[in-house]
């Protein structure tokens, strides 16, 4: 029985020592943040800049160009595309040329004359082109329909965004020249 009593005293003493040591560590670490995982942050005050009441905003009558492009995009069409019922052939230096194109969000719009056809013409997004300047062949899809006419005139324009005092505005710049599509 004496052994059980001694064992109880030893275990109780160890428990009290562990409890006291834990309390000391608890107090030493600020009362609760034993592991101190997050840094201590204390609020500080700083002086805020004051705004002068005699400052007048400057509003321009004309829109300023967006910082993305800073310039108006330019484009030119040339040459002829001949479709023989199976293959498109690009002749007479047929290409879509462009310069000053910086914003991948710009969109290329196509005008087909005579109208009324359901063609798809590309390129139609600037994001697929080499930035700034370059040229590309036109791609055409008839959407599984045969064209009604033997000759078409293809013209293009580019939609781009500018910044204005009121926000943003979509502008449109027409391409010079045209490409002729001939169906044989």
Q: pLDDT tens for residues 114-150?
A: 998 888 999 998 888 887 899 999 999 988 788 999 9
Identify which has the larger pLDDT, 49 or 179: 179
Name the band, by pLDDT with cuts 50, 70 and 90, for residue 78. Answer: very high
Domain boundaries, the chain: 1-34, 64-183
Q: What is the pLDDT of residue 38?
A: 46
Q: What is the pLDDT of residue 55?
A: 46
Direct distance between the N- and C-terminal alpha carbons of the chain, in angstroms, rounded to an integer? 115
Does position 166 have pLDDT exceeding 60, yes or no?
yes
CA 96 to chain centre: 24
**95 Cβ contact partners less than 8 Å away, ≥ 6 residues apart:** 77, 78, 79, 135, 136, 137, 138
Q: What is the pLDDT of residue 27?
A: 66
**Residue of 138, 102, 105 whose CA lies nearest to 123:** 138
Q: What is the pLDDT of residue 175?
A: 98
Two tokens at 160?
């781009």
Residues 150/176/110/64 CA torsion (nearest 10 deg): -170
| Residue 160: CB atoms within 10 Å | 25
The residues that bridge with 157 in the sheet, in sequence order, are 109, 174
Two tokens at 184?
């044989």
Q: What is the pLDDT of residue 76?
A: 97
- Cα separation, 124 vs 157, whole angstroms: 10
| Residue 77: CB atoms within 10 Å | 20
pTM for this structure? 0.60
Q: What is the CA radius of gyration of the chain?
A: 37
For the ranges 55-59, 76-80, 116-120, the lowest mean pLDDT is seen at 55-59
Does position 170 have pLDDT exceeding 80, yes or no?
yes
Instruction: Please state the φ and ψ torsions of residue 64, each to the nearest 5 degrees.
Output: -95, 155
- Cα separation, 122 vs 71, whole angstroms: 23
Mean pLDDT of the chain: 78
Averaged pLDDT for residues 22-38: 56
Averaged pLDDT for residues 148-160: 95
Averaged pLDDT for residues 149-175: 92
Name the band, by pLDDT with cuts 50, 70 and 90, for residue 172. Answer: very high
Phi and psi based region of residue 100 (left: phi greater than 0; alpha: psi -120 to 50; beta: remaining): left
The answer to whether residues 105 and 129 touch, using CB atoms and an 8 Å cutoff, is: no
Q: What is the pLDDT of residue 88?
A: 92
Given CATH 2.60.40, say whether it is the number of domain 64-183.
yes
Does position 111 have pLDDT exceeding 60, yes or no?
yes
């Amino acid at each position: 029985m004496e052994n059980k009593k001694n064992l109880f005293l030893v275990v109780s003493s160890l428990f009290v020592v562990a409890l006291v040591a834990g309390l000391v560590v608890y107090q030493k670490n600020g009362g609760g943040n034993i592991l101190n995982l997050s840094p201590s942050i204390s609020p500080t005050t700083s002086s805020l800049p004051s705004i002068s009441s005699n400052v007048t905003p400057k509003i321009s009558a004309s829109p300023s160009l967006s910082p993305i492009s800073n310039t108006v995009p330019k484009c030119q069409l040339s040459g002829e595309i001949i479709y023989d019922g199976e293959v498109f052939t690009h002749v007479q230096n047929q290409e879509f040329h462009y310069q000053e194109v910086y914003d991948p969000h710009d969109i290329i719009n196509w005008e087909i004359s005579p109208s009324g056809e359901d063609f798809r013409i590309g390129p139609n997004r600037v994001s697929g082109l080499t930035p700034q300047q370059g040229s590309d062949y036109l791609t055409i899809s008839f959407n599984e329909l045969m064209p009604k006419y033997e000759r078409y005139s293809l013209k293009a324009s580019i939609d781009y965004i500018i910044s204005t005092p009121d926000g943003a505005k979509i502008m449109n710049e027409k391409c010079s020249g045209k490409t002729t599509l001939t169906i044989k």
